[in-house]
A and B are shown apart, each in its own frame.
Chain A
């Protein structure tokens, strides 16, 4: 059974860079053909897909965030990462990592709250 777990700082100041890592167990990132995604959810609001990465390093990003987002992967260590530059209060959200099975998300991490505040 695949399990995902997000980790990273929970509090940032405006203009800083958000960095999160998702550790994956129960699924081989080197041999299984899945994309791995980041999705975020501001408090009381809906879900926003941020982007995804394949084991090869191939990425796709949401056009609305593309200029500030970078994703990376270390499949041999079973983790992938997210960086969002120049954060503002609008980036305050719960950030989920998820396994992208074709186009849908069949496994999710529990989520990591990131707050941007001066």
Chain B
């Protein structure tokens, strides 16, 4: 079973700062990794797929990188609407999510 571990659990930053969120898999998953943003009371929104491809309509300040077991979501300059919970997700024998990182 492939397990995704996100770090940190909580990241405290201010608008204008850069954010770096990590997602680590316990086995190699090539580049089959997606990132989502979820705000309170809303469904998750797809940000990144295939580790580094921005989904339609996602601002350029969001970028993804990594391959194999270590992945990163970077937000270059935080805007107020970016404070949310972020999840990574992989596909293997079945689909699973990381536990989430709260950006506050």
Interface residues of A (CB under 8 A from B): 37, 46-49, 52, 60-63, 96, 98, 101-106, 108-111
Contact = CB atoms under 8 A, between A and B. Distances in A.
B43 A49 contact: no
Contacts of A103: 32, 34, 90-91, 95
A104 B34 contact: yes
A97 to B, nearest CB: 9
Interface stretch (B17-25, B68-76, B96-104): B96-104
A106 B91 contact: no
A62 B45 CA distance: 22
A49 B100 contact: no
Contacts of A101: 49
**A61, A103, A109, most chain B CB atoms within 10 A:** A103
Contacts of B36: 105
Contact of B46 (A47, A63, A105): A105
